[in-house]
Structures are given as structure tokens and as C-alpha cells.
Amino acid sequence: MGIGGCIILIAVGAIITFATNWHMKGVNLDLVGLIMMAVGVIGLAAYVSIFKRRRIPPTPDGDVPPVVEERYYPDQRY
């Protein structure tokens, strides 16, 4: 679930909780809406924290540092 899915969960949960007055026997729609909003907020926080960890910090001039690969073969004689 990405950022869009989390925002949709929060919006639908808010609509169910605050903008409707439906009554169903055996189901508390206000609680369902609150649960949907909570799941959306938790999902959004988890997604943002994972996305934040994956970012490579840019250098002060804005460039991403290049990746340098070096191979070391300890058994090879020169």
C-alpha cells in the first residue's frame, strides 16, 4: 500500500465517521471509520519511514555521489 492507498483509507474513514448517519444492525460505522483512519495513518507513517531510509543523501551541491566498485582478489599473484 503506497501513499495514495493510505490517503484514500484516511479519507474514506473520515467520510464514514463524520459525514454519514447510516445505521446498521450489529455494525458501528463510526468505529469502522475510525479504524480505517488509524490504519491509514499507521500505513502512511510506515511507508514514509521506509522511504526515508532508502533515500541516498545528496552532497551539498545537489549531486548524488557516484558508486565506485573495486575488486580484490587475494589469491591472484602478480
Each residue of 19-73: pLDDT tens digit?
A: 988 888 999 999 999 999 999 999 999 988 887 666 666 666 666 667 788 877 7
The residue among 74 and 3 whose pLDDT is bigger is 3
pTM score of the predicted model: 0.63
Closest CA to 38 of 19, 16, 23, 54: 16
